[in-house]
Amino acid sequence: MTNRIKISYFNKLVIFSLVLLIIKLLILPYVHEIDADAISRVYLSLQFADNPHIINAGNWPPIFFYIMGLALKVYNNQFFTPVFVNILFSVFLLFPLFYSLRRLFDNKISFLLCVFFSFSPIVFRMSMLAMSEIPYLFFIILSISILLKGLFEKNILMVVFSGLIMGIAGGIRYESWLLGVLVVLYITYYKSFREALFFFLPFIIIPSMWIVSNYINTNDALNSFNWAIDLSSDRDINSIDSFFRRIWWYPLSLMFAFGPIAFYFFVKEIINFKSNRVSFLLFVALLVFLFIWLVNSLRGSLLLQHRFSITLFLLSFSFLGFYFKRNQRHLYLKTIIFSLSAFLFAFGYSSKGARPIPRLLTEDAQKVSNIINENLNDNAGFICDFWNWETTYYLPFSTNLAREQIEIIDNKKSINIKIEAFTKRFNNGVMLVNKKNATYNLLIKQGLNYKYETNCLKLKLETIFENKSIICFKYTTIANRVDD
């Protein structure tokens, strides 16, 4: 009888990480970059790659663009590189996550929680887009892992290093500013003010630099937050349905992140949040974040998007570990059921942002993309009328044109001026027009044909695609008399 080879749970995690990496790389060619913010982030990263510089101000903290810009400097492929970097982060974060969980659970439960975390549809989806959530998660989890080691071993240098890494996370996403403050309060209350100070001082370096830099360059320290402070009227609550939708959105989004089966056991477990200090602290942190998320949702300053629930999930999913700890039977089977149900059920939700694999769902969108690309050359321009959030940024991005060769028409004002100025620079290309938008009303229809003409501009339009929603033209400038 041969002896069975025992594989440590760390080695199992290594094997699982390699398999996960292969799975994501196999899926990558079928992913569509459909998030407008992701595409905007890629363009800003490309700007940094073309001209490395200190980013002094902006709506988003700068470190994400440094990371992606450097990666694009190494391999300049706007479709592959940013997502590949995020895939790597999604794999690497499992190791500090495993060591953090080992402070609470045994190796087996810690490993299985890492598996479950990886297949959460929200986490999986974010790793397949050029978004900032996954690098943010990596640095948050790494910071907590080092902090726990430093506190348990009374190693002040590790506490300092942990604070610095939390600050790096603060240079990627603002959620870590709040999370860092909660960590400081925890250390002060349960450990000592001295250790809290050694964490806090390096932690605030990058957030403070960002606030000061915004003040110096824009004369407004809160310039990054103005979009949330100065709310537009279109974010007002205008119906009972809108009011309740903003209340239940993030609890429901958290359920999507867990999957309905695991969420049921999470809810049962969270009822026992006072069972130990750790579950109590996690519950309090979750409650604080959820309250702030709900308030900002009602204000209209936090958009109803599933990606914003990723911090809520990070604070929540380890409650399943307490369930596993008390119910040790069939843990592998439970993990498979929890993971598969979360991943597969997400494809059936009507809420598109919960799907783990980002793909175009708009009818004809992929067909339109192919036709547009067939009718463009390297020196052409692309005018894209707003279609919907899924396609309006994906279609220009998929052309691989430089950002200056793209004009997105996203409002009703100054459409003629924008088109006139753009076609002066790019006298041929493709124009997509939404039949429900003001741009369509500017077209002149002559039989089956269209033309676009103003006092300053005349375009020859050749229809290359049309359906009930949009019409695409190949345009050529006949006359453009915009003054220099």
417 within some domain: yes
326 within some domain: no
SS3 of 181, please? helix
Q: For residue 266, what are the CA distances in angstroms to 53, 73, 324, 351?
A: 45, 43, 11, 22
Calpha distance 212→167 (Å, rounded): 15
Q: Is the pLDDT of residue 319 over 70?
A: yes
Dihedral sign of CA atoms 407, 409, 413, 415 in order: positive
393 within some domain: yes
427 within some domain: yes
In 61-135, where do the E strands start and end? none
391 within some domain: yes
Phi, psi values for residue 450, rounded to 5°:
-125, 155
Calpha distance 50→233 (Å, rounded): 37
389-410 tens-digit pLDDT = 899 999 999 999 999 999 999 8
pLDDT for the residue 222: 81
Q: Is the pLDDT of residue 301 over 90?
A: no
pLDDT for the residue 229: 62
How many domains is the chain partitioned into structurally?
1
Calpha distance 169→175 (Å, rounded): 9
Q: If you search the block for the tokens 């790019």, which residue do you land on?
A: 426
- How many residues are listed for the chain in this entry? 484
470 within some domain: yes
| Domain coverage including residue 470 | 365-480
204 within some domain: no
pLDDT for the residue 1: 45
What is the edge-to-edge ordering of all strands in the sheet holding 470-480? 406-409, 381-385, 428-434, 470-480, 457-466, 449-453, 444-446
397 within some domain: yes
Q: What percent of the chain has pLDDT over 70?
A: 96
Lowest mean pLDDT across 25-39, 199-213, 446-460: 446-460
Q: Is the pLDDT of residue 236 over 90?
A: no
